[in-house]
Every structure is written in C-alpha cells, then in structure tokens.
C-alpha cells in the first residue's frame, strides 16, 4: 500500500506494475511466516573483527568498520569512537584519523571540532558480517570498468 501512495505522489503510476513484479522477486525480510504469526528472531550474525581495513568500492565510500564496536557509546555525553579516531588520540590508538570532511559543515566551513552532522558515526560506517546477501550484488568497481584487463582482486563488498 505504501508503495502505491509513493508512486502516486511522484506521479509515476506506470512503474507501479513493474514495482509489484520486483516486489515478488525480492526476499521477504521477515521470513516466510505471515506477519500475524510471532516467530523467534534469527540469531545475530557474527561481525568481522579481524582489524584488516577493507578496500573502498569508490573513493567517497565511508570505510566499513573492521573491529568490534560492541558497547561503544555514541550519545549526548560521550562518543567512544572519537576516543581513538580524533586527531589528538591517533598516536596512542594507531587508529586512522577521521578525515577533514568530518571537521566541516555542509557548506565547507572548517569547524574547531567534529561537525555535528558527523557525530553519529554508525549512520555511515558499519561493521560487516559473513551473512549471505539477500539479493545479488551486481556492483562493478570503476577500476574494472576503466581497465578491464587489469582487474583488481575482488574483495568483500
């Protein structure tokens, strides 16, 4: 129903039918049971915490997190991530510093500290799991497009 309202709003009613077809192909996130039936939640996937920094799929990608973040508070009083990733703590922590963009507001002014829009790190940076993807990933690295003969080894996506 929400899909229908959205399509009408943006005025692309002809796409409605196509949308319905794709919806049938997409896996149901809540599993095969009807939503009226209460089923136990699947176990949490184990996170990849091998400390190996993962290659970015494109230069502006927020790098994924290669370490555990369990119990790291990011709230009004504390930002645990900054206790290692802030410029002044990187020597002790050996963590990569947050990039210069994290000190800039949206019009590019450089601020004295972490920009508020970059405060909630996990809005952009996420840990990875070994879970099987729900849908096929057909993303192609731009290096592979530019230089097909010198395709880099495929890593995690």
User: What is the binding site for ligand HEC (CB under 6 A)?
Assistant: 51, 53, 60, 62-63, 65-67, 69, 72, 79-85, 93-96, 98-99, 101-102, 114, 117-118, 120-125
Q: Which residue, 45 or 83, is less far from ligand HEC as judged by CB? A: 83
Closest distance of CB 72 from ligand HEC, Å: 4
Closest distance of CB 106 from ligand HEC, Å: 10
Q: Which residue, 49 or 144, is less far from ligand HEC as judged by CB? A: 49
Rounded-to-integer distance, Cα 152 and Cα 35, Å: 43
Q: What would the DSSP string read from start to end of the chain?
A: -HHHHHHHHHT-TTHHHHHHHHHHHSPPTT-SS-TTS--PPPPPPPBP-S-PPPPPSSTTSPPPB-S--TT--BSSS-BTTHHHHSGGGHHHH-PPPPPGGGGB-TTSPBPSS--GGGS-GGGT--B-B-PPPSS------HHHHH-GGGPPPP---
Q: Which residue, 16 or 124, is less far from ligand HEC as judged by CB? A: 124
Closest distance of CB 59 from ligand HEC, Å: 7
Closest distance of CB 12 from ligand HEC, Å: 28
Closest distance of CB 17 from ligand HEC, Å: 35
Q: Which residue, 4 or 96, is less far from ligand HEC as judged by CB? A: 96
| Measured CA distances, 37 to 4, 31, 40, 44, 96 (Å) | 25, 11, 10, 20, 46
Q: Which residue, 28 or 117, is less far from ligand HEC as judged by CB? A: 117
């Amino acid at each position: 129903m929400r899909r229908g309202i959205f399509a009408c709003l943006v005025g692309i009613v002809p796409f409605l039918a196509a949308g319905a077809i794709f919806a049938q192909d997409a896996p149901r996130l809540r599993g095969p049971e009807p939503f009226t039936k209460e089923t136990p939640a699947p176990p949490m996937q184990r996170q990849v915490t091998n400390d190996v920094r993962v290659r970015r799929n494109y230069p502006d990608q927020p790098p994924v997190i290669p370490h555990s973040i369990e119990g790291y508070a990011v709230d009004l009083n504390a930002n645990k991530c900054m206790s290692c990733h802030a410029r002044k703590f990187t020597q002790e922590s050996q963590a990569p510093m947050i990039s210069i963009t994290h000190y800039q507001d949206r019009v590019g002014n450089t601020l004295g500290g972490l920009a508020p829009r970059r405060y909630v790190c996990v809005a952009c940076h996420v840990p990875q799991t070994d879970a099987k993807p729900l849908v096929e990933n057909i993303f192609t690295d731009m290096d592979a497009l530019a230089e097909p003969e010198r395709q880099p080894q495929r890593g995690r996506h």
